Structure 1
Amino acid sequence: MSKRKQRRKRRRKIGLIFLAAVLVFLLLPNKKSEVFSKGKEEISLGELYSEAAILLDEEGQILGRKNSEKKIYPASLTKIMTVLLSIEKLDNIREITVLREEIFPELYAQDASMAGFLPGEKVTYRDLLYGAMLPSGAECCVALAEGSCGSEKEFVSEMNKKAKKLGMKNTHFTNTTGLHDDNHYTTVEDLSRLLCYAMKNQDFSKIFTAFSYSVPATNKHPEGFTFFSTLSQELQKAGVKDSCILGGKTGYTSNAGLCLATAAEINGKKYFFITAHAQGSHNTEPYHVLDALSVYGKLEK
């Protein structure tokens, strides 16, 4: 075969390979699409305040995503794992425990959010579960970890094992509270895996969808006290009195931005929506809540 024919044959082969590669690229699904389909309609997630977001139904079907695999800091969304794992590991959530005095100084020093329990207070693990989820109490998280595994360090090891088991491939925990650590990270897609699994647990679902909880009388609070979910406070700030949102968990640090995980029911069907890194703080407009209301509002139409 002449050299000219060999060159033609080589060029033809390269051209076919290139054409095949283009066809494969065009036919592959766009996993990072910022649009999901609702019948014949398309709803964009690109205009959200949050840098990362994911919407899915209760069956785990992803309906929309925005930077869903981008590394984010989860802040207090961490407590979804803390509460779930505690429920799974504790033999009896109505058992009484005592909050060790040693838990508090470091949390105070880090300006961690607290539920309002005091050193030496005798409470049930059930009180601590609600305290971790609703007012985002860091003291509750550490006490739950110690009650479940003996120490926070051992509990965090179990958190990472659980994450791996759930297929949370881009997640690593270093604490139970979500206080910032560069090595404490996840993605909204991983968090969606966690939330879908957790909501199948009856105890978790009940706590996640509660807006208030009353602690009965204790040795430190003779008359008991009531705390409210941070989500209910943010909804109030946004001027929302009634919505499809069933409950959820907020989160914030300066590194994580405003974060939110919610469950909602629309036309008899449940949806989960998770967002992370919206600009703002506790003193600004609740941009994470506004994102949720916007997306759920479009689903209601």
Structure 2
Amino acid sequence: MRCINNRFFSLSISTVLLGSILTGCGSTSYEMAYSPDYPVSSYRIAVSEEAVDTAAPFAADLCVVDGDVVADDLDLSRVSSAALFSLSANETILAKNVYEKLAPASLTKIMTALVALKYGSPDEVLTASANVKITESGAQTVGIKEGDQMTLTQALHLLLINSANDAAVMIAEGVGGSIEGFSELMNQEAKEIGATNSNFVNPHGLTADNHYVTAYDMYLIFNAALEYDLINEIISMPSYTTVYKDKNGNDKEISVNTTNLYLQGEKNAPDAITVIGGKTGTTNAAGHCLIILSRDSAGKPYISVILRADDKDILYQDMTDLLSEIKN
């Protein structure tokens, strides 16, 4: 499914039930009654100079998927949602339940990094509050204490490489002033990039009511995050060591390893496919989740995502099978 139509459209906000036939991706048509809760992402509400609200496709070079795109040789029955997108061809290669709202676990941290770099400075120094103490059982932390100080760049490395939930709190409070304030920025950014079927209430993805994404929205969020060189650099790193300061100004050294089993070398991508990096996520509510940036032998980039696999082995087996659908 490839986007070839660059035309924008508008719908009067005063006509709630106005139906419109939209051609936004190849020859596929979409019938849409105006609603801010339309279940297909990528439509944003924009106010014109004439004060008429309109709904417009957020980008002409990204596909809008209106249903499953399947392959006869691929079984994705063990995961709730999955997709594979070609960034160079603007093509949806495979899609399953890409608009189902699901808990994202630590895939949330992609949006956290995106918002942090948009509204913060890599060199700004963050100071940890008492809220960095995470009490949820099994939650990943790196031992940040109240009063510890590090740069946003250091915190982002801990966030994306080791999925540190305490680093997420430190970033959110440092950039957004509070968890609530930062979450508002996350939701604002989601709407701006067209991820209209997502909602964030925290920066880490630990289980919370009304915190959800879709696989398609995760593609949009990850694609936007990859515009930042620092994020590209961090997600490809198998390990990281840094030194920061405690509340008394003493040096504290920390070393972390990636949670991505492809980068660890424990799992192998298909022949001719190179996994550049990505983000893992696991909670009881979300199951096992993974989003990956990869390249084929010609260097063409792809984003693949799986939400809610039953266990880690299924997650990586199905992701490898998904990547096998890339035809070099």
Is TM-score (shorter-chain normalized) higher than 0.5? yes
Residue 224 (structure 2) pairs with residue 197 (structure 1): yes
Alignment correspondent of 2:176: 149
Assess, with a 3 A threshold, how the Cα gap between structure 1 residues 109 and 75 changes in structure 2: closer, same or farther.
closer
Assess, with a 3 A threshold, how the Cα gap between structure 1 residues 195 and 122 changes in structure 2: closer, same or farther.
same
Alignment correspondent of 2:258: 229
Question: Alignment partner of 1:154: what SS?
Answer: helix
Give the counterpart letter for 2:208 in structure 1.
Answer: D
Question: 1:176 Cα shift?
Answer: 0.8
Assess, with a 3 A threshold, how the Cα gap between structure 1 residues 241 and 269 changes in structure 2: closer, same or farther.
closer
Equivalent-residue separation in structure 1 for 2:93 and 2:262 (angstroms):
28
Alignment correspondent of 1:70: 100
* Bigger proportion of residues as helix: 1
TM-score, normalization: structure 1? Answer: 0.78
Alignment correspondent of 1:211: 238
- RMSD after superposition: 2.6
TM-score, normalization: structure 2? Answer: 0.72
Question: Alignment partner of 2:94: what SS?
Answer: strand
The higher-RCO structure (CA 8 Å, 6+ apart) is: 1
* Bigger proportion of residues as strand: 2
Give aligned-pair identity as a percent: 26
* Structure 2: gaps spanning 5 or more residues: 1-26, 30-64
Residue 68 (structure 2) pairs with residue 33 (structure 1): yes
Q: Could you tell me which of 91, 94, 117 is aligned with 2:123?
A: 94
Name the larger-Rg structure.
1
Equivalent-residue separation in structure 2 for 1:109 and 1:133 (angstroms):
19
Assess, with a 3 A threshold, how the Cα gap between structure 1 residues 202 and 28 changes in structure 2: closer, same or farther.
closer
* Contact kept? 2:287, 2:309, Cα under 8 Å: yes
Alignment correspondent of 1:277: 308
* Contact kept? 2:258, 2:264, Cα under 8 Å: no
Alignment of 1:220-299 (within 5 A): 222=251, 224-232=253-261, 236-238=265-267, 244-267=274-297, 268-280=299-311, 285-299=312-326
Question: 1:148 Cα shift?
Answer: 0.9
Q: Could you tell me which of 95, 103, 109 is aligned with 2:131?
A: 103
Equivalent-residue separation in structure 1 for 2:269 and 2:28 (angstroms):
41
* Contact kept? 1:45, 1:64, Cα under 8 Å: no
**Matched residue pairs, number?**
262
Equivalent-residue separation in structure 2 for 1:165 and 1:238 (angstroms):
35
